[in-house]
Structure 1
Amino acid sequence: MKSNVIAWLDEGNITVPSLLFSEYRNLNLNETELVLLLNILTFLEKGNYFPTPEELSRRMTITTAECNDMLRRLLQRGFLEIIDQYSNDGIRFEKYSIKPLWERLVELFLVNHQLQVQETSKKTEEMDLYTCFEKEFGRPLSPFECESLAMWMDDDHHDPVIIKAALREAVMSGKLNFRYIDRILFEWKKNGIKTLDQAKNHGRKFRQKQVQKNLPKEEAHNPSVPFYNWLEN
């Protein structure tokens, strides 16, 4: 009994990131391919750097031929590589490396992390946007108004910064209603306005045009600056 336990301990252990088990499907690996890679890792840990398909298949439920085909596909797909190593005596030998697997896993982790950061940032911006609207309107938004905000972001793909700018334009113009804000956003999108600076410049030019249009020529050189009526455009 004691000798069996010692033999079991002599088999050793391997350390595998739990992320591999949760994400191998997203790497387009199936269960058999995953187990094959883990068996290669086990052989590497025990000093067998280039296990044969026969050695690997004996640990699995696939034939030697199937194992050989799977090894070839994993090499082609960039989950496994064969590298040249040299012994202390200068003898060259080949070795499996699963470094490409770890690299793919890290890349996937970083992409997912970046997506999570962007999603969190987007939700924060959206909540801040709703707060800004409720503050300016002095009341909670109605379901229709909430739906309009969501449509501006999800369907029309307006940046929250641009929507806030349109809100400020409506406040300054004394026309605080969703129809007016929607018209501003429509005009900005039609004219390719995507940044806050572009929105400010566009609004300034429109107001200047309105001044020149409405004032007599002798007064046009020193006009007061009215707000552009987006609904009348």
Structure 2
Amino acid sequence: MQLKNFHHKYPVLFHLILMTLASGLILMGILFGLDIYTRHDSSIVMPELRGKDLKEAERLLSSHNLRYELVDSVYDKSLAPGVVVEMVPQSGNTVKPGRIIFLSINARSARKGIVPDLKDMSGRQALAILKGLGFEQVTERYISGDFVNLTDGVELADGRNVLAGTRLPITTPLVLRVINGYAPLPADSSLIDESITYGSSQDSASGKAEEENSESWW
């Protein structure tokens, strides 16, 4: 049977066959395109970047047809500034060419925080606020005052006062001045002895006066 006769005799079936063939060709084209896009036949083992300078890491990634993006910075004084401290994906993982690698580097200086106004807050609350801002080296120094356990202010380790709103590296040691009431005054034994002596003298004098009065009555 000729194709033309088949088309005229079975038009519905003929069109179904054409649609099936067209769908198959489209599906094959999509799969072929995805295979090219995802590069199933090529993969790269992630090199180790941690501890390397950012420029060196960039050259290494470029040689492997990889890209990078900085997503975070931390401060570790034991590491050189600008080196890679973390990477995603990790070294040794298999990735596709053109993949973006996310890097965290060591900052050149510590992150800074603003010291808030902590006066008249409780010592515990003031300490929690400073810790929440990233200040880790915080101690307390107790001073005399009327209101127990209230914060009087913030100072540096050398005693210099820190005003509210001051921007400092979060590694700066800070000291909270916390009011701890008044210290009891030491007892002065000389005053006690004098009062006892004075009281004894008064008792002796009054006793002699009573004896004289009783003798004069007789």
TM class by smaller structure: under 0.3
Higher relative contact order (CA 8 A, sep 6+): 2
Q: TM-score, with normalisation over the residues of structure 2?
A: 0.24
Instruction: Kindly indicate which of the two structures has a greater share of residues assigned to helix.
Output: 1
Higher strand share: 2
TM-score (norm 1): 0.23
